Amino acid sequence: MKKVRIGVLTGGGDCAGLNPAIKWVVKSALDERLQSERGVQYEVVGIRDGWKGLVEVDPESPAPGESIIQGFDVFRSMLLTQEVVRTWDRYGGTFLGTSRTNPYNPKNDQSKTVLANIEKLSLEAVIAIGGEDTLGVACKLARDGVNTIGIPKTIDKDLPGTDYTLGFETALNVITEEVDRLRTTAGSHKRIFVVETMGRHAGWLALEGGESSGAYIILIPEHDFSMDKVNDLVLEAKGRGSRYDIIVVAEGAKPAGGGEFVVRDGVDGFGHKALGGIAEYVAGEIQNAAKLDTRSIVLSHLQRGGAPCAYDRRMGRYFGIAAIDLVVKGDFGKMVSVRNGEITAVPLEEAAGKPRLVDVHTEYDTDRYNGRRTILNHITEK
């Protein structure tokens, strides 16, 4: 029987749903009942630490199967069996590790090393699980002749070509739970809390997290806000007898006429700045102008952590199975996706396009700075 070796890796920020996807890539590839139908015996090699693993892997080291015993960290790869991944879907993060290494970084182009190592490792396909940066690399590798498949992952849910990305729903649960906890101290002290979520370009986390947790004000990158209006809304709520309020703001949100708030200088391998500080700014402005006790809190990496929720476990399963379906069909250069409730696939070029943003005309109330208050008004009565 023909033997085919597949590589799988996770890149970018960690999140819940990665391990379930890896598990079902492995289980689907190694399914004994399907082997005879396919006429192919697959072998799955886990690449450690994202694209960094394919830059630093030593193809002359012991075979991937041996590295499990000898310490696979040294060799940047490991053989994945059904027994190895049996319990992985119960855990958050990624057991393969991750990084933000960009082999196509113009300042240090290592793409030729990656291409050479893929060939030396005899990988006939590479499945990359990640967001815009990781899948952008997969897209470039596809153009360079590598058989690549993408699985969408980002808690920002901003990848084009798919209605869902792994990690989003679990992150929403975290935001909701943390805001619920803040309400007890906010109510006790008559405070306003400004909660900063992730979301560089897209406000899905802040918007849907704010809606889920019942936030009074939600600020997103897609619509620059007026600080005067925020203060007016806060004072309006105070006048109605509100004891406290919760404001949720995405890290990429900006005051009108201002720019993004940056934590530190410099950029990562993909040219991204480290954003942060908008919640502290908003809290300070409310404190000074409205004279109300206001505090800020940054959820940061808490949103990435924890065990995957039921939805991310199921979507990890479906995406993992679909990725192997594409490998079996030889339909490479695609990203598995979900559209209108159906698992499908789109070209990687589409996934590497412009971010999927909140439509402020249909999803956001620019007057209340919150989620929409009408849903069925577009339907014409007969």
Task: State pLDDT tens for residues 138-152.
Answer: 999 999 999 999 999
**Residue 376 counted as domain residue:** no
In a domain, residue 118? The reply is: yes
Q: Are residues 178 and 288 in the same domain?
A: yes
Overall average pLDDT of the 116-144 stretch: 96
- C-alpha–C-alpha distance, residues 382 and 379, integer Å: 9
Query: Residue 250: what are its φ and ψ, rounded to 5°?
Result: -75, 145
Q: Any idea what the CATH number is for the domain that residue 245 is in?
A: 3.40.50.460
pLDDT tens digits, 64-74: 444 433 333 44
Q: Are residues 116 and 198 in the same domain?
A: no
What's the rounded mean pLDDT across residues 30-40?
A: 92
Cα–Cα distance for residue pair 28/40, rounded to 1 Å: 12
pLDDT at 356 over 90: yes
Residue 322, domain member (yes or no): yes
pLDDT at 290 over 70: yes
pLDDT at 1: 83
Clarify whether residues 127 and 203 are in a common domain: no
Whether residues 50 and 119 share a domain: the answer is: yes
CATH number of the domain that residue 60 is part of: 3.40.50.450
Average of pLDDT values for 123-129? Answer: 98
pLDDT tens track for 151-203? 999 999 999 999 999 999 999 999 999 999 999 999 999 999 999 999 999 99
Report the alpha-carbon distance of residue 11 to residue 150 in Å, rounded: 11
Q: 157 with 177, same domain?
A: no
Same structural domain for residues 318 and 217? Answer: no
Tell me which residue of 172, 220, 263, 226 sits closest to 355, measured CA to CA. Answer: 220
pLDDT higher than 90, residue 266: no
Mean pLDDT of 314-318: 98
Check whether residue 9 and residue 60 sit in a common domain.
yes
Sheet with 217-219, edge to edge strand ranges: 217-219, 245-250, 192-197, 294-298
User: Does 19 fall in a domain?
Assistant: yes
pLDDT at 351: 85
Domain with 278 in it = 172-305+359-371
Q: Would you please indicate which residues are annotated as catalytic (active-site) residues?
A: 156
How far apart CA 344 and CA 357 sit, in angstroms, is 21
**Whether pLDDT at 270 is above 90:** no
Is there a single domain that holds both residue 288 and residue 161?
A: no
**Does 381 reside within a domain?**
no
pLDDT at 61: 62
**Residue 109 in domain:** yes
Q: Is the pLDDT of residue 307 over 90?
A: yes
44 and 149 assigned to the same domain: yes
Q: Which residue has the higher pLDDT, 57 or 126?
A: 126
Task: Tell which phi-psi region holds residue 140, choosing left (phi > 0), alpha (psi between -120 and 50) or beta.
Answer: alpha
Given a cut of 50, whether residue 263 has pLDDT beyond it is: yes
The residue behind tokens 């970018």 is: 12
Q: What is the pLDDT of residue 74?
A: 40
Residue 214 has pLDDT above 70, yes or no: yes
Number of domains composing the chain: 2
Q: Are residues 7 and 67 in the same domain?
A: yes
Q: Is there a domain that residue 378 lies in?
A: no
Amino acid at position 91, single letter = Y
pLDDT (0 to 100) of residue 232: 96
Looking at every residue in the chain, the average pLDDT score rounds to 91
Residues 105 and 222 in one domain: no
pLDDT above 60 for 355: yes
Indicate if 324 and 280 belong to the same structural domain: no
Task: Assess if residue 377 is contained within a domain.
Answer: no
Average pLDDT over residues 3-28: 97
Q: How far apart are CA 318 and CA 322, in angstroms?
A: 6
Q: What does the pLDDT look like over 322-340, one tens digit per residue?
A: 999 999 999 999 999 999 9
Least confident segment among 36-50, 57-71, 216-230: 57-71
How confident is the model over 281-288, as a mean pLDDT?
Answer: 96
